[in-house]
Chain A
């Protein structure tokens, strides 16, 4: 019998703690499959954020460091400068990266730091229970924007991949979604491209993945995917936003 799918050896046996319908699990698998397919398990070092993915050192079957909130790109910089021939990536949520850690990611990109950042954007703070993030959409209700995000008070969302794509040191920037099988495959391809660029020493690579948070959005998993398509995919630029090698 032909084996068409198997668990990747880049993930441990620890069961995910993520809520039902959360897409972190899919994104973990895509990162892990790429690590395995590129034969990186022995040379990869991952850096985790603070937030829902703050426990992901339990899941990736590689060396991992847990950074302070938002500081993962600085920590990854330290690792990569210490061990330039190793493969280094950060895995960060939108509160971690786009709010408290915006300086760290922007300057890692500006330095052309030869690392990869996987950015998971679900438009909300998940771990602390659904507060407004810098990526929360106008009108979106959260526990700290209970009447909906009002731009005159709380400003506008940041489109991180669009911002990072403008930085010269960024070699590859893609914005993907994992809401459908087709998009999952595209997301995997984007992560693969970013990883390969790092291996080729091209500079900073960044893959933004739109994600759901059914628990804090107050929706069923299916409804959450619909909301993502109807709202997030309209507000956030999708596609390969920068490819320095192709230009």
Chain B
């Protein structure tokens, strides 16, 4: 199989094209800009269309229209731009439109900085915009996984009629790694008979989330809630690393999962029985992965590039059955594996002493 050496952002864009994405609407922002540049350059060759929107607000609403017309569509941005898309995401979720959104997260809040960050975790997994809704949130940690999850994202969006977010950061977006584009087993996807394509030969379709009748509003909410439950039951994904005999667990996704994995390897050389649980879906959070290990784990270390956001889901997933501590850097800074191991020993002195 042919191998390509690709930058993470380019790999996402190429994977999207290969997944049948033919429309892209975007607005430039560092460190995600290579995605929109790649789409601008490569979509015309596959009879696709790229439009540079006047703002992220417009870009996400163009995605709304295109998804409503039944076409595979994507946008990409970075944190401040994703903030501007929250209104549109709420509407897209309410109208159950399949849209793929890439967030190459940078440090915040405000204009923040260009360094890697995971501080958009709450925004991505807890709603972000107004109302009760969920995005399916995928968190790749290698360039190959950026490819695979981007392709999956389009299927998940179509299958569940739900917006899907791919969350990475500037390190993954800018990093070059070899990738292959595998032939994928495609899922059985439902026909888009709800799309507004012109009502020729069928009853007319309307896409709207507005209702002044509270009874209808509640019925809608219950329908969405049931869908989110079914996604949570069927789509949790995670990776376990050196967990068979682990007494302690590091929990990390994306960039920090790579660092935590190195820290686990260092700890193992010292004889410390620690493993890694790497959430691949941030929503639904892989609670089943935690459940399978709960009896054996004496403590958890959530490794994050934020003030501690995913740690709340770790506590919920483990029902606080063992202590959960935080190892973090913020504002664009990244911990070294040594730093993670040092923090681990600091909060779990018994783990190191047991060796």
* Interchain CB contact under 8 A, B55 and A63: no
* Interchain CB contact under 8 A, B198 and A44: yes
- Taking CB atoms and an 8 Å cut-off, the chain B residues in 53-101 that contact chain A are 53-55, 57-59, 61-71, 73, 87-88, 91, 95
* Interchain CB contact under 8 A, A66 and B210: yes
Given A41-B199, A81-B49, A107-B54, are A76 and B208 neighbors across the interface (CB < 8 Å)? Answer: no
Interface size class, chain B: 35 or more
- B200 CB within 8 Å of chain A: yes
Contacts of B95 in A (CB 8 A): 66
- B196 CB within 8 Å of chain A: yes
Complex: A79 Cα to B68 Cα, angstroms:
7
Contacts of B64 in A (CB 8 A): 65, 67-68, 71, 74-75, 78
* Interchain CB contact under 8 A, B69 and A64: no
- B25 CB within 8 Å of chain A: yes
In angstroms, how far is the closest chain B Cβ from the Cβ of A72? Answer: 8
Given A45-B69, A82-B65, are A65 and B208 neighbors across the interface (CB < 8 Å)? Answer: yes
* Interchain CB contact under 8 A, A78 and B68: yes
Given A64-B207, A71-B88, are A78 and B23 neighbors across the interface (CB < 8 Å)? Answer: yes
* Interchain CB contact under 8 A, A64 and B210: no
Given A44-B198, A75-B65, are A57 and B88 neighbors across the interface (CB < 8 Å)? Answer: no
- Taking CB atoms and an 8 Å cut-off, the chain B residues in 189-245 that contact chain A are 196-201, 204-210
* Interchain CB contact under 8 A, B207 and A42: no
* Interchain CB contact under 8 A, B206 and A74: no
- B51 CB within 8 Å of chain A: yes
| Contact indicator per residue, chain B 3-15, by CB within 8 Å of chain A (1) or not (0) | 0000000000000
Given A68-B87, A68-B91, are A83 and B68 neighbors across the interface (CB < 8 Å)? Answer: no
Given A42-B199, A63-B204, A68-B87, are A79 and B65 neighbors across the interface (CB < 8 Å)? Answer: yes
Contacts of A106 in B (CB 8 A): 54
Complex: A147 Cα to B253 Cα, angstroms:
58
